Amino acid sequence: MKTAAIALLFGLPLGAQTVPAGFFNQTFFTTSNTSIITTQGCRTWSVLNWSAIETSNGVYSFTGLDAYRAACNNTNIVVSLGATPSFHSSNPSDSQCSVTMGTGGCDVPSDIGSTDAAWKAFTGALAAHWAAADAAHAHYYTVWNEPNQDTTHPSGSVMYAGTIAQMVTLACDAHAAIHAADAQAVVLSPDPTFDARYIASSPVGVADWFAQFFAAGGNSCIDGVGFHYYPQVVVNGGGYYSTQSDPEMQIGWVSALRTTMTSYGVGTLPIYVTEGSWGNVNGLTTLQESGYLLKWHLLLFNAGVSKAWWYAADANTSPGGTCQRYWGSLIDQTNGICAQGTAYNWLLGLLAGASYRTGFNQPCAQAGDDTWSCLFTTAAGKRLQILWNSTFTGTRTVSIWAGYTVCENLDQTACTVSGNTVTLGANPIILATK
């Protein structure tokens, strides 16, 4: 076994920066599950989009939104607006639309080329209701879910069937209507996702989509940029993703996106990851999934993302008696919280409000042997070092700085500190001072 020195200073200087609790958020489909998983905010998708709220032409039901707000304490709530109701759709019988969009839901409204009145009326009514119901918190809106899953996508399941120019119209009209009604509004861009067509060429797919959107004028009517972060590898030549990768393998998406934003004059806007997880992949153990969600959050924060919403705490909606590894689910509908959910709650308790080194801008760094190390001091005053190396085959012995005497795996079982060394592999370990 080899020994690799991790050259990071022990301890934190005065004036250290902190990890805001509001960085950690979840997607929930059922409001009762918000009491099981600790979260600072919630995102809703198919249960509260346009077609779910506008039940008939000009008639809006906000009952679901109000229940969701109450369950999530009105904090860091994101509503994804898209999904055109069939009675407003330019192609109401379009069966290629994703099941989450509904027939015709992936198509633009029929009046988008003239007044775009239906979309303006909906977004304005939603914003007015939300502003009147809760004036104390920021209200987050995303314009359209995964618009780069279009008619050319190899899955054949379409989220958006319109053009980039039409998406800019939707974004700008929503931005104006929402801000006219809601002083607390934060209107984010449409939020594209990882796209199978781009993975072979490098992490530029999301940035490429935004380059088109910004060039068409979308940079003039957003308060922040959102995208979905599913770092996965395509091996089946076409549809969805079947092999898992570690989150660090595509963390370059964030810097590529920031470069594109800067080139279009919006480089200082905040970036939000409004959805992401290990996705629909079943090849990981429980401990590996716990490691994945920790690395996913740490690396996104380290890359400068302002807030992140995991997808999804309760994605496993089919009672099965076991914790199925389905779209990031942390809850089993039969037996309650899974081990991965327990790990998430524990990690959030450690990291929310933790401080890290002033002047370094980032709490995590990667050594020459690819070992990742993150240094924190918890709100309770305990010093932590989180370590992993996804490139190691098996495990290796690595050196640590003196003072860390407690070692825990993500299932909260003990690992061993031997002198000033620990055994390290792809799953993170957490070192602490007593």
Nearest residue to 133 (alpha-carbon basis) of 79, 172, 174:
79
Nearest residue to 292 (alpha-carbon basis) of 156, 428, 148:
428
Nearest residue to 342 (alpha-carbon basis) of 412, 292, 414, 288:
412
pLDDT value at residue 27: 93
Strand partners, 397: 3, 423
Q: Which amino acid makes up residue 100?
A: T
pLDDT in tens, the chain (434 residues): 333 333 333 333 344 689 999 999 999 988 888 999 988 899 988 778 999 999 999 999 999 999 999 999 889 999 999 999 999 999 999 999 999 999 999 999 999 999 999 999 999 999 999 999 999 999 999 999 999 888 877 677 899 999 999 999 999 999 999 999 998 899 999 999 875 444 444 434 788 899 999 999 999 999 999 999 987 644 344 433 434 467 887 788 899 899 999 999 999 999 999 999 988 766 788 898 899 999 999 999 999 999 999 999 988 766 555 676 778 999 987 778 999 999 999 999 999 999 997 556 789 999 999 999 999 999 889 999 999 998 887 888 998 888 899 999 999 999 999 988 999 999 999 999 97
Task: Enter the tokens of residue 144.
Answer: 């359209």
Residues of the chain with CATH 2.60.40.1180: 1-19+353-434
pLDDT value at residue 360: 63
pLDDT value at residue 392: 84
pLDDT value at residue 143: 97
Task: Enter the tokens of residue 147.
Answer: 């618009």
What DSSP string runs through 368-431? TTS-EEEEEE-TTS-EEEEEE-TTSSS-EEEE--TT--EEE-TTS-B---BTTEEEE-SS-EEE
Residue 195: C-alpha distances to residues 96, 155, 233 (Å) = 18, 10, 10
Strand order in the sheet with 396-399: 3-4, 396-399, 421-424
If DSSP codes are grouped into helix, strand and coil, which group holds residue 200?
helix
Our measurement of the distance from residue 133's CA atom to the centroid of its chain's CA atoms, rounded to an integer in Å, reads: 26
d(CA 376, CA 19): 9
The DSSP call for residue 10 is S
- Taking 3-state DSSP, the helix, strand and coil percentages for the chain, each rounded to the nearest 5, stand at 30, 20, 50
* C-alpha count within 13 angstroms, C-beta hemisphere, residue 161: 25
Its sign, for the CA torsion 165, 170, 174, 177, is positive
pLDDT value at residue 278: 84
Strand partners, 194: none
What DSSP string runs through 94-110? -TTB-TTT-TTTTSPBT
Residues of the chain with CATH 3.20.20.80: 21-352
Q: Which amino acid makes up residue 275?
A: E
pLDDT value at residue 14: 40
d(CA 145, CA 228): 9
β 372-377/364-366 pair status: antiparallel
Task: Enter the tokens of residue 341.
Answer: 């959910």
d(CA 159, CA 291): 30
The label of the residue with tokens 């639309």 reads 97
Task: Enter the tokens of residue 151.
Answer: 């008619």
pTM: 0.92
pLDDT value at residue 58: 98
If DSSP codes are grouped into helix, strand and coil, which group holds residue 227?
strand
Task: Give me the architecture of the 21-352 domain, per CATH.
Answer: Alpha-Beta Barrel (3.20)
pLDDT value at residue 149: 87
Look at the domain 1-19+353-434 and name its fold: Immunoglobulin-like (2.60.40)
